[in-house]
Amino acid sequence: MKKSLALVLICLGSLALIALYLFWGHPSSNIFWQVRIPRLVLTLVTGMSLAAIGSVYQLMLANPLAEPYILGISSGSAFGSIIFASLGLYILMPLGGFIGALITMVLVWRLAQRRGAFDRGRLIIAGVIVGMFFSAGISLMMYLRREDTVLILNTLMGNLGRIFSYSEYRVFVLLSAVILILLIWLYLKSRALDIMSSGDLYAASVGIQVHRLRQHIFVVTSLIIGIVVSYAGIIGFVGLITPHIMRLLGFSRQNRIYPGSLLFGASFLLAADFLAKNMAGIELPVGVITAAIGCPFFIYLLLRK
Amino acid sequence: MKHLYYSALILIILSTLCSCHSPKQDNAGRYVVLSPEIAEIIVALGAGDKIVGLTQECSYPPELLEKEIVGNFGAVKMEQILNLNPELVFTSALEQESIAEDLRKLGIRVESSYPKNLAEMQTEILRIAVIIGREAKGRELVSSIAGQIQKVKEMAEGRPVPKVYLEIYRDPLMSVADNSFVGELIETAGGDNVFQTLERDYSRIKAEDVIKANPDIMICYSQDSLSDIISRKGWGNIPAIKNQMVFFEGDIDPDLIQRAGPRCVIGMIKLNEIYALWERLTQ
């Protein structure tokens, strides 16, 4: 009863948020359609993706601290898009991010294999190390290209205020559709993930092709992160805390946690971006806001339990 | 015997360390300049030959290109500066504040100058002139600048005032406030800078606000191209973009309006020409 009430409240809250987000400050119809709607789509897709992947990783890696960026994909993606930006190819930044994510993904996956077998611990270590390597690359770029410092900071702290050109927007909508399909695919794997969390041997005994499934999930999530980071930069906390909040609300099975995370992640990021946009005269980095709201909220939930 | 060796060793090391004192040789009239605008001012005061070291950004006038480079605006090589044995190092604000602090710790005389508007620029030119012993030349330069500013104001008087949007960065969008140096030039030359107040002189802005402000002229220093600007979602109806009143680095050199130096009057005249072009084509 309590669970469904919470879900209904989150649903209503997110609808109210969307309305507030779109109509705040009486925008003209041009601004409404050309600036706010694209930003809304970007925010929702980003929030959903981060929270969804967070929930999948926490289960798959059996690590409550797992979050979408733990496997280094985000740093690789950010590095790729920053390289493209510093070459003056601002329009192609998402492509750079995507290439960066792909390279990181292949690298991390290869490093995680040990004599053909998958090792959870190795995967995390490989992810952290590769991530650190690309972070160093980003720091180097920031040092060498002073004129692009704002852009790099933006990528590192999250920026949902991207200006789209008409053709860019078409590509983005297409990629968002791809993300949605991949997110649905991940939902369909909820049961298998639950079973896998009880051990590979057991999962294999009930007919799950553990290695292949893990590889597929890894590729799919990397793709999603690559796309999201290249458009919105790195936004922390959403992927980490959302699944925990779902669990604290009383959900325990992945096929409940996952859709709940999707919903909550999207509304949480929307609220954060609304504050980032309107709280101060200057637009604040959204990653700072997610951390600023996320931490105390999370502590409150922990203490209440 | 062993003790003797050690004592001798310590004695040698100590005496070497003690002999490390700063070489106070004759260094009068040797200047290292880290700020591009101060470099321009010093050359305009006729003391360009006294500059012995510069940062990469100090590229105007061309005679400076032959001087030794000691780093870039945000990162300099301290040892190289020390080697040049300068009487005085000129720095700007921002990243250079900490560099100035470090130089002072090394016992070097540092003069900082970061004028935020035209009036401050004129007092700073005078101050620098006094420091380098060119006071008369300084007065002459300042009075000529003041005269030219007056002329620009007269040129702008009674003309229609275009709304001007200056984009200094694309992702995120950044522009200038009225009370920044560039903002003051835009206004003095007879335009209306669209962002009156911002959190900082050079600050992040929202795309929505640019569309709402409806600027007549856009000056684009964000490395974007006209076709890309036209294709930005929701920007097509902005008069500046509809009428292709978008100007780039090739049309007006950023150094002319972003540096608080003697060339800013040329920058204002260029701005005024752009406004006149806008008036001819659209009014």
Q: Under an 8 A CB cutoff, do A165 and B208 touch?
A: no
Nearest Cα to Cα of residue B52 among B34, B37, B31, B69: B31
Summarised one tens digit per residue, pLDDT across range A96-136 is 888 898 899 889 888 888 776 777 788 888 889 999 999 99
Q: Are B45 and B104 in contact (CB under 8 A)?
A: no
Per-residue model confidence as pLDDT tens digits over A210-238? 888 988 998 899 889 988 988 898 998 89
pLDDT surpassing 60 at residue B23: no
**pLDDT mean across residues, chain A:** 88
- What are the respective helix, strand and coil percentages of chain A, to the nearest 5? 80, 0, 20
* DSSP 8-state code for residue A252: -
Tell me, what's the pLDDT at A222? 87
* pLDDT at site A72: 87
pLDDT at B122: 94
- Average pLDDT of span A43-53: 95
Relative orientation angle of helices A166-188 and A93-112, to the nearest 10 degrees = 30
A168-203 pLDDT per residue, tens:
899 899 999 999 999 999 999 999 999 988 888 888
pLDDT at B24 over 60: no
Residue of chain B whose Cα is closest to the Cα of A278: B206
pLDDT recorded at residue A84: 87
Q: Do A150 and B199 touch (CB under 8 A)?
A: no
The string of pLDDT tens digits covering residues A279-304 is 877 788 899 999 888 888 778 877 87
Are the C-beta atoms of residues A235 and A9 closer than 8 Å to each other? no
Q: Which percentage of chain A shows pLDDT scores above 90?
A: 36
The distance of B230 to chain A (nearest Cα, Å) reads 8
By the 8 A CB rule, do A70 and A57 touch?
Answer: yes
Annotated domain spans of chain B: 158-282
Question: Does A31 contact chain B (CB < 8 Å)?
Answer: yes
What kind of fold does domain B158-282 have according to CATH? Rossmann fold (3.40.50)
- CB interface of A with B, residues 179-218, below 8 Å: none
Best residue of A22, A28, A29, A34 to probe chain B, by most B CBs closer than 10 Å: A34
Are residues B233 and A164, on separate chains, in Cβ contact within 8 Å? yes
Rounded to two decimals, the ipTM of the complex is 0.73
- A280 interaction partners in chain B (CB closer than 8 Å): 199
Q: Test B74 with A27 for CB contact under 8 angstroms.
A: no
Distances (CA, A) of A11 to A4, A5, A15, A43, B71: 10, 10, 6, 16, 56
Asked if the model's pLDDT at residue A55 lies above 90, the reply is yes
- Determine the average pLDDT of the residues in A46-63: 92
CB of B72 within 8 Å of a chain A CB? The answer is yes
pLDDT in tens, B103-115: 888 888 999 999 9
Residues 154-193 of B with CB under 8 A from A: 169-174
CB contacts of A163 in chain B (<8 Å) are 170-171, 173, 207, 232-233
Q: Domains plus CATH for chain A?
A: 18-304 (1.10.3470.10)
Judged against a pLDDT cut of 60, whether residue B22 lies above it is answered with no
Higher-pLDDT residue of B5, A182: A182
Measured between beta carbons, which residues in chain A are less than 8 angstroms from residue B74? Answer: 146
Please give the full DSSP string across chain B, using - where no structure is assigned. Answer: -HHHHHHHHHHHHHHHHHT--------TT-EEE--HHHHHHHHHTT-GGGEEEE-TT---SGGGGGSEE-EETTEE-HHHHHHT--SEEEE-STTHHHHHHHHHHTT--EEE----SHHHHHHHHHHHHHHTT-HHHHHHHHHHHHHHHHHHHHHHTTS---EEEEESBTTTTEEE-TTSHHHHHHHHTT-EES-S--SSSEEE--HHHHHHH--SEEEE-SS--HHHHHTBTT-TTSHHHHTT-EE-TTTS-HHHHHS-STTHHHHHHHHHHHHHHHHHHH-
CB pairs under 8 A between A and B: 81
Residue A305 above 80 pLDDT? no
pLDDT tens, position by position, A148-174: 888 888 888 888 888 888 888 998 999
